[in-house]
Structure 1
Amino acid sequence: MVRWAPGSRERLQAAALEAFVERGFESVTVAEIAASVGLTERTFFRYFPDKREVLFHGQETLEAAFVDGIRDAPADASTADVLRHALRAATEWWFPEERRAFARARSGIIAQDPALLERELAKMRNLSAALGTALEERGVSPVRARLAAETATTVFHVAFGQWIATDDEKSLADIIDALLGELGDVFGPRS
């Protein structure tokens, strides 16, 4: 068996996703995933600590993309504009159209397994905390930073759900922009 073939991580992810969709997450073993792409179980564990991490690989990179978006926003930008910048920067880079089918399948698998769903929710909590910290580093007050971070995470979560539910031509970033507009309409001007 080939141990270090190029693209092994991606092949393992694709094989795992296909097997999870066909047979369910719990029914698939690491050995089956590795064997399906001509690799060993040991090679699988070089890339992923366990089979659930196949679905969560890259979480740190995604979080970093959001945080970098906050840090790279113009210094004089409002908190709302900083978040808009971060959301657009991260989603345009991380969620191009060609990832929609993968994201849809991944979400379906996670939705069917309570432990995976709990892990996904923890990922969202971690993202929100990282956004809040990055906003505070920009000088945003702790309360405003937390509100803004929680709001941005919710907008991302809702937009992501809409993006994977449809096959229209809207990008995830465009859906986020529309939802931010909706959010502004929900609160409207102060009275």
Structure 2
Amino acid sequence: MSRWEPNARERLERAALELFAEHGYDNTTVAGIAERAGLTKRTFFRYFTDKREVLFYGQELLVQLFARSIAVAPESATPLQAITAALEASEAAFQPERRGLAARRQEIVAANASLREREMFKRVILTDTMGDALRERGVPDPAASVAAELGALAFGMAFRRWLDAPGEPKYGELARETLEEIRATAAGLG
């Protein structure tokens, strides 16, 4: 593979996931990833700060999608309706062609304690983003915090469902259905 082929980011991501699966996360180097992708270490660092970021680089897109979607939700939207809009908008990050990579990524994260910790930190950032966006809309606490926590729970559950569902499920629909299921369950707790 020529080092001048397009899609360097995707090539690096695929190479990293292959090597993480073959040799383990801790035994994989940036040099090895770059070599597998047919690129240089310098090219790797144009796209990622370190090998861990190969697994987490999409977080910025999600943060932006969540914040923007909540901000532009209709004024009449309830906090959970605004969260639903954010979850549905996040479908842009969960396209069918990425599902296999996402599943492989999840296996790698699940097998490494430091990566699981990073994944939990990612959830905190997304939860804070949703809560802050709701507060900017004038939603007071504890409603903003509770809605954000429910949104984060729905996000994670919908992601797992998206990975496990047969066919080509749409993430936005799964997320909306999951949030509604959580809302109904919470209401039934009395």
1:29 equivalent in structure 2: 29
1:66 touches 1:89 (CA, 8 Å); kept in 2?
yes
How far apart are the structure 1 equivalents of 2:176 and 2:62?
A: 19
SS in 1 for 2:51: coil
| Pair 1:109–1:136, CA change in 2 (3 A) | same
CA-based RMSD of the aligned residues comes to 1.9
How many residue pairs match? The answer is 190
1:80 equivalent in structure 2: 80
How far apart are the structure 1 equivalents of 2:59 and 2:188?
A: 36
Structure 1 residues not aligned, in runs of 5+: none
How far apart are the structure 2 equivalents of 1:158 and 1:113?
A: 20
SS in 1 for 2:139: coil
Deviations 1:3-43 (A, max 9, x none): 66532111111111111122211121111110112211122
How far apart are the structure 2 equivalents of 1:16 and 1:24?
A: 10
Which letter does structure 2 place at the counterpart of 1:42?
R
Which letter does structure 2 place at the counterpart of 1:110?
V
How far apart are the structure 2 equivalents of 1:36 and 1:78?
A: 49
| Pair 1:46–1:169, CA change in 2 (3 A) | closer
Q: Which 10-residue stretch deviates more, 104-113 or 27-36?
A: 27-36
Provide the TM-score with structure 1 as the length reference: 0.92
Which letter does structure 2 place at the counterpart of 1:183?
I
1:69 touches 1:85 (CA, 8 Å); kept in 2?
yes
Q: CA deviation at 1:137?
A: 0.3
Percent of matched pairs sharing the same residue: 43
1:12 touches 1:34 (CA, 8 Å); kept in 2?
yes
1:133 equivalent in structure 2: 132
| Pair 1:16–1:189, CA change in 2 (3 A) | closer
Q: Which has the higher contact order (CA 8 A, sep 6+)?
A: 2
SS in 2 for 1:107: helix
SS in 2 for 1:131: helix
